[in-house]
Amino acid sequence: MKGLVSLFIGVFGTFAFSWVGLTVIPNLQIGALNPQMDEEGTDIYPAPKSGMAERGRRIYAANGCIYCHSQQVRPDYASSDIDRKWGERRSAPRDYIFDRPVVLGQERMGPDLANIGKRAPAEEEKPAAAPAANSPAASPVAAQSPPANAAPAKPGATSSPPGSPAAPPQPPPAAAASPSPSASPNPNGVPPVYSAAWHHRHLYAPRSVNPDNGDSTMPAYKFLYQKHQINGERSADALALSGREAPPPGWEIVPTYEAKCLVAYLMSLDQSHPLKEVKSAAGAAPPAASPPAPPAGSPPPASPKK
C-alpha cells in the first residue's frame, strides 16, 4: 500500500514539475507582454491585425500552410535565415503577442514567411497591369528582398553545379529571365513577386509563377478561387493567368473572399519593426551579409544579394 502512495506522489510530482517548469513559469516570463511604444506613445508595435487578416490566419491554419512554412527568423549565429533575407533581425516573443493561433511552424518545405508582407513591392496599385513600370519605383524595398536568394542561385538549380552558385558563366538569356522577377517584365505576365496579385497567382497555380519553381511542392489552392463566365467586363480582381492555367476565353478566375483574406494575412506579415530587446540587425546585417555577395557577383541582379 505504501508503494502505491509513493507511486501516486511520484507520478504527480514529476509531471507537475514539468508542467510548472515548461509552461507556467515561462508564461510568467513571456506570457503577458505589451506592445512596445516610444516615449510619445506613438509608433506602437506590434498592432493587432485587421479583421480580414485575422480571418486569413484561420484559413492559413485550417489548410495546413503551417506544416511547410515557418514564421520565425532565427538569429544569424544559428542559421542562415537572415542571410536568406527572410528578415533583418531574429524574431522575438513580442512579435507574436496578438497571434492566435500562433503559427511558428515546424518544418520548411517552403520558405519562411515571417516577413513576407514586408517583402512586397512598396507600391502595388496596379501590379498586374504595369509590372515593368511598377518595380523600379519599388526598387528600394523590392531589390533587397524576395528575389535575393532565389535569383542568383536558380540557374544553378536548373542547369549546373549546385555547389557553386557563383558560376557566373550563366548564359545571359537564362539570367535575364530569372534574375529579379519583381523587376522583369516576365513573359508570362507574372506580377511583381510577393505583391497581392502574385500571391493569388501563386496560390492558384504555384508552379506557374516562376519557371524555375518546377520543384516547388506546394499544392494548388484552386478551391479558394472561382471560375466565372465574364459578362460585360473582366472583374478587377481576376487573376492574370497564361498558358496551361489560363481559363478558356470568356471565363475568368476570381479569388473567393477566403482567398482574399488569406492574401491579406500574408501581406500583413511583417516583423521589420525594431524591438528594444533584439539586437537590431540593421547595423549588423550589411557587414554580415556583404561578404557572401561578391562571390555571387553575377550581373546587375546581384544587387539583391546586398
Partner 1 sequence: MTPTADIPLKEPAVSAAAGDAEQLERARIDASTRVPVLMFYASAMAWLLIGTLLAGFVSFKLHSPDWLSDFSFLTWGRLRPVHMNVMIYGWGSMVAMGTAIWLMARLCRTTLRHPLLIVTGIWFWNIGVLIGVIGILMGYSTGYAWLEFPPYAAVVLFVAYVLIMSWAVLMFRFRRGDQIYITQWYLLGAFLWFPWLYAAAQAMLFVVPVQGVMQAAVGWWYANNLLFLWFGAIGLGTAYYMIPKVIGRPVYSYHLATIGFWTYALFSSWTGMQRLVDGPFPAWMITASIAATILTIIPVATVGLNHHMTMQGYFPVMRYSPTLRFTVFGAMSYTVFSVVGILISLRSTARYLHFTEASIAYSHIGLYAFFTMIMFGSMYYIVPRLVGREWRYATLIKLHFWASAYGVGLMSLMLLIGGLAQGVTQNDPSMSFIQSVASVLPYLRGRTVAALLLTISHFIFAFHFGLMLFGLGRTSTVPTFLNPIEAEGAEPHL
User: Hey, which residues between 129 and 168 contact partner 1 (CB under 8 A)?
Assistant: 149-150, 152-154, 156-157, 162, 165-166
- The C-alpha atoms of residue 271 and residue 87 are separated, in whole angstroms, by 7
The answer to whether residue 1 forms part of the interface with partner 1 (CB under 8 A) is yes
Using the rule CB under 8 A, is 52 a contact of partner 1? Answer: no
* Interface residue with partner 1, options 36, 63, 242, 303 (CB under 8 A): 63
| Binding residues among 73-92 for partner 1 as defined by CB under 8 A | 74-75, 78-80, 83-84, 90-92
Per DSSP, 215 falls in state G
**Binding residue for partner 1, selected from 9, 50, 51, 106, defined by CB under 8 A:** 106
Q: Which residues of 28-62 are buried (b: 16+ CB within 10 A; e: fewer)?
A: eeeeeeeebeeeeeeeebbeebeebbbbbbebbee
DSSP states along 61-76: HHTTGGGT----PPPT
With H, G, I as helix, E, B as strand and everything else as coil, classify residue 189: coil
Nearer of residues 128 and 205 to partner 1, judged by Cβ = 205
Are 294 and 86 spatial neighbours (Cβ–Cβ below 8 Å)? no
With respect to partner 1, which residue has the nearer C-beta, 52 or 220? Answer: 220
Residues 6+ apart with CB under 8 A from 306: 85, 144, 148, 285, 286, 289, 290, 293
Q: Which of 35, 98, 226, 243 touches partner 1 (CB under 8 A)?
A: 98
Please state whether 185 falls in left (phi above 0), alpha (psi between -120 and 50) or beta. Answer: beta
* Single-letter code of the amino acid located at 220: A
- Phi-psi sector, 243: left (phi>0), alpha (psi -120 to 50), beta: left
Site for partner 1 in 198-227 (CB under 8 A): 206, 212-213, 215-224
Q: According to CB under 8 A, which one of 55, 56, 72, 115 is a site residue for partner 1?
A: 72
Among 3, 140, 283, 287, binds partner 1 (CB under 8 A): 3
**Shortest CB 189 distance to partner 1, Å:** 21
The answer to whether residues 276 and 39 touch, using CB atoms and an 8 Å cutoff, is: no
Examine residue 62 and tell whether it contacts partner 1 (CB under 8 A): yes
Q: What minimum distance in Å lies between the beta carbon of 178 and partner 1?
A: 10
To partner 1, the closest distance from the beta carbon of 161 in angstroms equals 11
In whole angstroms, the minimum distance from the beta carbon of 246 to partner 1 comes to 16
Judged by beta carbon, residue 62 or residue 133, the one nearer partner 1 is: 62
Contact with partner 1 (CB under 8 A): which of 26, 185, 294, 297? 26
What is the DSSP code (8-state) at residue 248? P
H-assigned helices in the chain: 2-19, 25-30, 51-62, 131-144, 147-158, 172-177, 196-204, 257-268, 281-289
Of 134 and 210, nearer to partner 1 (C-beta) is 210
Give the one residue of 36, 49, 52, 99 binding partner 1; rule: CB under 8 A.
99
Lookup result for grid cell 508570362: 188
Question: Segment contacting partner 1 (CB under 8 A): 93-101, 116-124, 134-142, 228-236?
Answer: 93-101
Query: Which of the stretches 18-26, 121-129, 131-139, 231-239 binds partner 1 when contact is defined by CB under 8 A?
Result: 18-26
Site residue total, partner 1 (CB under 8 A): 91
Other Cβ atoms closer than 10 A to 3: 7
